[in-house]
Structure 1
């Protein structure tokens, strides 16, 4: 087996989510890690599989795997340090598994109109940008990116959505937004 074929995620319903396994000495072996090492191992696995970045590392269960220690910068799990010591399995969700959120613009006072390039907010009016997605995983957060000034804002997800409130629209709010 060659990279990324010597690593896989199992039991998560997708190739970008599940418990980490590594092909070693002719068999698939479960990968375990200390709590302090799980994030780094997950980062290496998501990158090696071409699944983006780590979204979540789930708590270990009773399944045990061979201990792996990574710094997080390794190109593959093969480069990480391994022992035969058994630790709780590393279960990971990578970003490529996530559904792209929807984005909505609302206002409470009629300060939004349809412009040639999309919705426009009148100067001085409050507006809210809401990011939402279909239920996929509990918790999480939304990142609102604003291209006008390369700013970002983060809000925790509540019922699979997050609202970003902007008081008194002005020129500094001009630009494109994405969730």
Structure 2
């Protein structure tokens, strides 16, 4: 369990940070960028929760907890052999998201066009979190090229962005308040 008594340590004052195995890397390292963007996703979901209620709020809380697992997974390099197994994202976490996506999507109107992010406040915030999750996914996909143990993490972030998309549609009265893209409308 993590115990933080002091928030600043001064160990990062020269542009380096520590990974889960103790290795020091630049703060702009791909691995740090990936888990930093997962942290941004988590913060965006925290903001989104301010507009959510009931089951949606509970779902977002569960996702936030999982995103800390994602961060823990990403901050631990493949080569690390600790005395205990590193925390890795599991297929059951991905499957949970898939089940929620299927449940939400069953109630949605079929899409006839791409959707403009927006509608209700909750939907707009879910779309913002989705775009940040997609950015994290792009960074993780680059990281996975040399770190195959993070494949479930990549799958998780891919499903999470899908879940946030269908959740945004659900927050728009099951899609009836979606604002559809009209190609070339302003030519």
* TM-score when normalising by structure 2: 0.22
* TM-score when normalising by structure 1: 0.23
State the structure with bigger RCO (CA 8 A, min sep 6), 1 or 2. 2
